[in-house]
Homo-oligomer: A and B are copies of this chain.
């Protein structure tokens, strides 16, 4: 008998009919002899509708109140789901984040889990019942205030509960079959990734793959929680994410030689700011990024040109989430005189492509192959950054789809059309 934590996203519980469908799936898992804990998001567009209501009241709602408002969504979905399961003859009880023991810090809107004390969940399992838990929410220990974990927080709730309960697996149900070697809307013959390490999944999630929230993968890696990303609409295996030592044996064997690349992620949400003609003296860059850091913006890539000897001036470019652009531009403009740069350029027409794979650590030549593929497709590279298991490049936004397809093909990731259950990277 296994202890399974299942998480269902908003698209899996969009209406009463979907709730009943999911309930049936949960009842089956329970009847198959498992202990089942279910984490559920708000139904469909509920969270956006609540946000819209808040916007009708005030453009800047107090974050504590916004958190209380938004948590109403999971309260609705979790109780409906518990009703639907009970209606199938399987006992189920629903619990808020607070009741499930999800203790967070007090940073409303993006609280971090500081402890998981799932006494009531354990009691419920011990009684042979299914426990339904509201995703995305927690409670502060000191003030008993309701917090939310930010978008994608339900994934984190599920992984945290799986860790706290020492579950055998955390199943993340979604409306696609798993994580793919590229976004199937861009690359129709992208293939499902059968298995990825935490590190690979982290890079994919950080670089634009939207199926799993980055924070939940970080949490899973820290507590070594095996994840299984799969579709709530089929019984197919999806993508498993775990530590290297839990890599399935058949994959170890089949990929001894050639498996290099997990997939190609892309991200269209970033913008680029260029600080033009900065005096190239020690401390210039540090002062710029001090100013940017104070706005809370998340810098991604940074490029500094070689200084022209004749002028002693240089350009510094960096990328950041597009939504952080206006505040960052304003902050830099305010210190223009002090820093002595000439001007600022803002560019939101960029796209980022990231090639991810643990294999590239031991395989030289991956960058060369990537650059050649882009060159052959006639795509210009504007910025480059790398980690041990990732290479990212910035291109024009309107070249991004072509870039993804070219790279996907160059690294042998293309499957036959409609092919779905093949491991990505069984090299050829």
A: residues with CB less than 8 A from B are 16, 19-20, 50, 53-54, 56-58, 60-62, 64-66, 68-69, 71-73, 75-76, 78-80, 82-84, 86-87, 93-94, 96, 99, 120, 144-146
Check B75 against A72 for contact (C-beta < 8 Å): yes
CB distance from A361 to the nearest CB of B (A): 48
CB distance from A92 to the nearest CB of B (A): 8
Check A83 against B71 for contact (C-beta < 8 Å): no
Check B53 against A66 for contact (C-beta < 8 Å): no
Q: A50-B76, A62-B83, A69-B76 are in contact. Are A57 and B94 (CB under 8 A)?
A: no
Q: A69-B75, A75-B71 are in contact. Are A80 and B94 (CB under 8 A)?
A: no
Taking a contact as CB atoms closer than 8 A, the residue among B53, B57, B80 that contacts A53 in the complex is B80
Known: A62-B82, A75-B75. 18 other contacts (CB 8 A): A16-B53, A16-B56, A19-B57, A20-B57, A54-B83, A58-B83, A58-B84, A58-B87, A65-B79, A65-B82, A66-B79, A66-B83, A68-B96, A69-B79, A69-B80, A71-B75, A72-B75, A72-B76
Check A75 against B68 for contact (C-beta < 8 Å): yes
Taking a contact as CB atoms closer than 8 A, the residue among B56, B58, B83, B93 that contacts A57 in the complex is B83
> Which among A58, A62, A79 has the highest number of chain B CB atoms within 10 Å?
A79
How far is A64 from B132 in the complex, measured between Cα atoms in Å? 13
How far is A83 from B75 in the complex, measured between Cα atoms in Å? 20
Chain B hits for A75, CB < 8 A: 68-69, 71-72, 75
Chain B hits for A146, CB < 8 A: 96
CB distance from A86 to the nearest CB of B (A): 5
How far is A37 from B219 in the complex, measured between Cα atoms in Å? 41
Chain B hits for A76, CB < 8 A: 50, 53, 69, 72
Closest to A145 in B: B99
5 A-B residue pairs with CB within 8 Å: A57-B83, A65-B93, A68-B94, A72-B72, A99-B144
How far is A20 from B60 in the complex, measured between Cα atoms in Å? 14
Closest to A95 in B: B68
Chain B hits for A68, CB < 8 A: 75, 78-79, 94, 96
How far is A144 from B144 in the complex, measured between Cα atoms in Å? 13
CB distance from A314 to the nearest CB of B (A): 45
Taking a contact as CB atoms closer than 8 A, the residue among B50, B57, B72, B80 that contacts A54 in the complex is B80
Check B16 against A57 for contact (C-beta < 8 Å): yes
> Which among A62, A96, A144 has the highest number of chain B CB atoms within 10 Å?
A62
Closest to A78 in B: B68
How far is A75 from B53 in the complex, measured between Cα atoms in Å? 13
How far is A367 from B61 in the complex, measured between Cα atoms in Å? 59
> Which among A58, A73, A78, A99 has the highest number of chain B CB atoms within 10 Å?
A58
How far is A66 from B78 in the complex, measured between Cα atoms in Å? 11
Closest to A144 in B: B99
CB distance from A52 to the nearest CB of B (A): 9
